Structure 1
Amino acid sequence: MTKIDIGINEESRIQIAEGLKRVLADSYTLYLQTHNFHWNVTGPQFRELHLMFEEHYTELATAVDDIAERIRTLGVAAPGTYKEFARLSSIKEVDGVPEAGEMVDILTKGHEQVVKSCREVMKIAAEADDEGSTDVLTGRMSVHEKTAWMLRAMRQ
């Protein structure tokens, strides 16, 4: 591959990509949790939660691709294994099948964690004038903040 010359020095590109790897791992872990909960939710809110979780994991499936492609744009290999995602993610896996309300609480925390991970990387990207990464991160933050709000509203 030829040398990357996009106005961001190599050290900054690598630092941003490492942060984006953590965002990718958080997003993929949240995707898996959401898909798992979609399959396994039960109770009086079954239909509503089943459909909502499907909307969420479908959106996350597109998001992980966008984040991985941004990492590749910066010239760094994107992680793609469960082992690597587990190592990088701030979101811990859930054992068993929680009850529906707990699923909502777990996913709320997961969406909030992705926002916090995005904020950490955003600082690094902004310092390097990496508008491409800040654009990806800003978009992700908006989606996760809104989703967390909607999930919290279900528990009022």
Structure 2
Amino acid sequence: MIMGLFFNRKRSIDLFAPVAGVLEPIEKVSDEVFASKAMGDGFAIKPKSGEIYSPIDGTVTSVFPTKHAIGLKTKGNLEILVHLGIDTVELNGKGFEVFVKEGDVVSSKTKLVDVDLNFLASEKKPNDIMVIFTNLDKHALTYEAGNVNQGDKVGTVE
């Protein structure tokens, strides 16, 4: 009977800041597709550096050929899209150096990508780093907006 208690416990997933900067709700980004949560709920960070780390412990499920986005999945099958900037797909990989590949196991200490923020600025691309949960379903996302350092625990998914 006691074993049933362990199987019914909810697992929460810790969320970490992938980069130092200012964390804000996804609704504040300038791209309507993201701001309207059409891709899923999440948050964005106005970055202070271009070193982007994993926001979760999980596995890399995809690295977009244009290097502007990386798909991740937790052990509980929560899917996360880390999207680097807005309209950056148009850059065809320029300004991004990727350090992971599909199948890699990652944590908040794993660097995913270096983003050349000066290059994004020269191309007039907003540099918001977005963390989007594409299959939250019945899960609840909570996070704390404000100044964050890379690796800070910023929220949870229950």
TM-score in terms of structure 1 length? 0.31
More helix by share: 1
Q: Which has the larger radius of gyration?
A: 1
More strand by share: 2
